[in-house]
Each structure stands twice: as structure tokens, then as C-alpha cells.
Amino acid sequence: MREVTAEEAWEVYTLRAPLETMASRLAAACLYDTEVARMEAVMQTMVEVAQRGDEEAQPRLGRGARAERRDSEGVAISGSASR
């Protein structure tokens, strides 16, 4: 493994930031209200844990936060779904 120079790191992060922003916007447009509500609840829990300084709880917070997409009949689906 080779070392990354400061210039290379800057280039990667400079390119990565706008791509991640665009990806987030595209993904957000496909979210269901239930998914948004679940993410907001996880975020609120993260804020409360951080305010308490509960370092043991922090690594566990992301587990279970991913909601499964389901079709109108409740069947789990993968990939992008149109609404």
C-alpha cells in the first residue's frame, strides 16, 4: 500500500464532496415517508447519545437503521423503486 500525498487527498475529497451530495439528493427523492421518519428517529437517538457522552452506545446506533423497501403488497424489494 502506498502513501497518499496531501495533494492527492485534497483532489479526492474535492471530487468526492459534490458526487456524494448529488447521490444523497437522488437517493432522498426515492425515500418513502416511513424511511424518512425512521432515519429522523435514529438521528435523534444519535444526538441524545452524543449529548450524554455514551461512548458504548455509539457504535450500535447504525445497526438496524436501514429500512427494507417493500412493494404495495409488503414484499421486500431491492434496488431503486419507483413510487
pLDDT digits (tens, 9 = 90+) for 62-79: 554 454 555 555 566 655
Place of cell 416511513: 34
**Inter-residue contact 76 to 68 (CB < 8 Å):** yes
Residues 40 and 57 reside in one and the same domain: yes
Residues 60 and 47 reside in one and the same domain: yes
Can you tell me the distance from the alpha carbon of 81 to that of 75, in angstroms, rounded to the nearest whole number? 12
Structural domain total, the chain: 2
Distance linking the first and last C-alpha atoms of the chain = 44
* Domain hosting residue 4, numbered range: 1-30
Can you tell me the distance from the alpha carbon of 30 to that of 7, in angstroms, rounded to the nearest whole number? 36
Identity of residue 82: S
pTM of the model: 0.44
82 vs 3, more confident: 3
